Amino acid sequence: MGGGSEFPQKCSQWGSGVCENENKIHGQDSYLRAVVDMGSNGIRFSVSDLSPPTSRILPTIHVHRLDISLFDAQFDSKTGTRIPIPCSIIEAVIAALLRFQIICMDLGVPDNSIRIIATEATRTAINSIEFRKEIKEATGLTVEMLPKEDEGKVGALGIASSFSNMHGLVMDLGGGSTQISWMIVNAGEVRTSPKGAFSFPYGAAALTRRLEELTAGKSKDEAEKERDKLREEMKANFLDAYKKLEIPKELIEKAKRNDGFPLYLSGGGFRGWGYLLLYQSQVHGHHYPISLINGFSAQKAHFENTEALKEVARTAHQIFRVSDRRRAQVPAVAFLVNVLARALPHGIKEAHFCQGGVREGVLFQELTPTIRLQNPLEVATAPYTRLSAAAISDLLLCAIPEPSTTDAKMFPESIGSHVIRAFANVLYVHSVMSKETASTAALYSTSTGLLSTSHGVSHSDRALLALMLEERYQGELPPREVDFKLSLGQLLTTEELWWTRYLGKIGFLVSSVYPAGFIDQDKPRMRLSALWAAGLGKEGTKEGLKLKISIEKVEHDPLKLKETLEGGVGVIEKVGKKKNWIGGKDGWGMAVKVIVEEDALLSGRETGSTLLAELINI
pLDDT digits (tens, 9 = 90+) for 461-474: 999 999 999 999 98
**What is the per-residue pLDDT for 241?**
97
Provide the pLDDT confidence category of residue 599 given band limits of 50, 70 and 90: confident
Across the strands, what pairs with 66?
A: 43
Positive or negative, the Cα torsion across 350, 356, 362, 368? negative
Is residue 17 scored above 80 in pLDDT?
A: no
**What is the per-residue pLDDT for 406?**
87
Neighbours of 458 (CB within 10 A): 21
Residue 313's H or E segment, with its range, is: helix 306-315
Residues of the chain above pLDDT 90, percent: 83
Q: Tell me the C-alpha distance between 243 and 30, whole Å.
A: 43
Assess contact for 455 and 433: CB atoms under 8 A. no
Q: Tell me the C-alpha distance between 591 and 543, whole Å.
A: 6
Q: For 57, which DSSP code?
A: G
Does the predicted TM-score (pTM) go above 0.85? Answer: yes
Q: Of how many residues is the chain composed?
A: 618
Q: Tell me the C-alpha distance between 598 and 618, whole Å.
A: 13
Which residue from 390, 401, 388, 418 is spatially nearest to 529, judged by alpha carbons? 401
Burial of 362 by CB count in 10 Å (0-12 exposed, 13-18 middle, 19+ buried)?
Answer: buried
Rounded average pLDDT over 368-385: 96
Provide the pLDDT confidence category of residue 19 given band limits of 50, 70 and 90: very low
Q: Tell me the C-alpha distance between 49 and 490, whole Å.
A: 35
Which residue from 543, 585, 181, 532 is spatially nearest to 344, judged by alpha carbons? 181
Question: pLDDT digit string (tens) for 25-69?
Answer: 455 668 999 999 999 999 999 999 999 999 999 999 999 999 999
Is residue 602 scored above 80 in pLDDT?
A: no
Is residue 172 scored above 90 in pLDDT?
A: yes
